[in-house]
Amino acid sequence: SKPSILVTGGAGYIGSHAVLALRDRGWPVAVIDNLSTGFRFAVPEGVPLYEGDIADGELLARIFADQGIGAIMHFAGSIVVPESVERPLDYYHNNTVKSRALIAAAVAAGIRHFIFSSTAATYGIPETSPVREGMPKAPINPYGWSKLMTEQMLADTAAAHDMNYCALRYFNVAGADPEARSGQSTAGATHLIKVAVEAALGKRNSVSIFGTDYDTPDGTGVRDYIHVSDLAAAHVLALEALMAEPERSMTMNCGYGRGFSVLEVLDAVDRVTNRPIERVMSPRRAGDPDALISDPSRIRETLPWKPQHADLDIIVRHALAWERRLSEIREDS
């Protein structure tokens, strides 16, 4: 029978979609999450949820044995860039030190495959866009460094021990499960599409446009938005690739390779709801690059990945459907 997959951070935004994608493809799953930013309701019925710390070696050893874990998908971590600038040691602790403990527990238990949630923030402000994996890594904040350091630990560990790994560097993750089984639930989220659908539903008054003088066609920032369910599917394919070739590790960008400006995103939201949201021209945010677009060549050559939702309007529609569902969940509880 198939081994079970341990998803850390499985009660969070991307992790919960990975749980759905794994289950949809027939993989048994267990979740470990300390519920600091995740939600119990994001973990489907029937999936064992261990409420605890990814650095708790005793708990991990018990989960590995009781659940028959054969691989780890590691999403748990802190992701707020400005917070990482204010509290760098918290980020190195949560993302780097605790990942080290998790990797050590995996090695000790003979877990052979490890998939890691990394980020385009490892590139910093790239010299050129689209960005290829081999380009210089020069994070401009502790968040990016905390993830890059974990990638390095995985590379060194895979070279020394019987483990292979896949690091997936996400571009701008957005949208929600097409069946509205999960979505972005964090209160006070700052990501553009989340903020825009909140505004569309009257949960906030307006959307600020952070910078209108960027070196882009319309002056606003350009990003490569990837649907969270396509991203989750890439994780399952990466897992299957690691199992098929246990000597091979890989690092891959996750994006579609095309960018949309802030104005194009807001236009899409207006189009989908058929009602304009109020826009407020605002100053640039510190550390935002003009454009950040992935070169997706490597993932397309490496995995049989066929994105199903590579369409801005679909991303927005699913984000909006989840935002409505979230209001119902909040009213019930």
- Give the relative orientation of helices 312-332 and 192-200 as an angle to the nearest 10 degrees: 60
Helix (H/G/I), strand (E/B), else coil: 173:
strand
Residue 269 is a binding residue for ligand UDP (CB under 6 A):
no
Exactly one of 2, 285, 306, 324 binds ligand UDP (CB under 6 A); that residue is 285
Closest by CA to 189, choosing from 42, 67, 47, 37, is 37
The residues facing 170 across adjacent strands are 119, 254
Closer residue to ligand UDP (CB): 165 or 210 = 210
Residue 190 is a binding residue for ligand UDP (CB under 6 A):
yes
Hey, CA dihedral for 135, 253, 242, 301, is it positive or negative?
negative
Closer residue to ligand UDP (CB): 190 or 245 = 190
Minimum gap (Å) between residue 199 Cβ and ligand UDP:
9
Residue 84 is a binding residue for ligand UDP (CB under 6 A):
no
Do residues 52 and 75 make contact, with C-beta atoms less than 8 angstroms apart? no
Rg over CA atoms, the chain: 19
Clarify whether 143 is annotated catalytic.
Answer: yes
Closer residue to ligand UDP (CB): 11 or 207 = 207
Options 21-29, 88-96, 110-118, 191-199: segment touching ligand UDP (CB under 6 A)? 191-199
Chain centre distance of CA 98: 18
Closer residue to ligand UDP (CB): 50 or 171 = 171
Q: Kindly report whether the peptide bond that precedes residue 136 is cis, defined as omega within 30 degrees of 0.
A: no
Minimum gap (Å) between residue 105 Cβ and ligand UDP:
30
* Rounded alpha-carbon distances, angstroms, from residue 145 to 117, 137, 223: 13, 9, 21
Closer residue to ligand UDP (CB): 39 or 123 = 123
Do residues 179 and 254 make contact, with C-beta atoms less than 8 angstroms apart? no
Residue 223 is a binding residue for ligand UDP (CB under 6 A):
yes
Hey, CA dihedral for 117, 131, 224, 311, is it positive or negative?
negative
Exactly one of 105, 262, 320, 321 binds ligand UDP (CB under 6 A); that residue is 262
Strand segments, DSSP code E, in the chain are 4-8, 29-33, 49-51, 69-74, 113-119, 164-170, 172-174, 206-210, 222-223, 225-227, 250-254, 260-261, 278-282, 291-292
Exactly one of 14, 176, 207, 242 binds ligand UDP (CB under 6 A); that residue is 207
Helix (H/G/I), strand (E/B), else coil: 262:
helix
Residue 112 is a binding residue for ligand UDP (CB under 6 A):
no
Catalytic residue among 13, 91, 143, 225: 143
Exactly one of 57, 100, 208, 270 binds ligand UDP (CB under 6 A); that residue is 208
Residue 209 is a binding residue for ligand UDP (CB under 6 A):
yes
The interface mask with ligand UDP, positions 149-188, x = CB under 6 A, is -----------------------x----------------
Closer residue to ligand UDP (CB): 172 or 294 = 172
Residue 212 is a binding residue for ligand UDP (CB under 6 A):
no
Which residues sit at the interface with ligand UDP, rule CB under 6 A?
172, 190-192, 195, 207-211, 221, 223, 262, 285, 288
Active site amino acids: 143
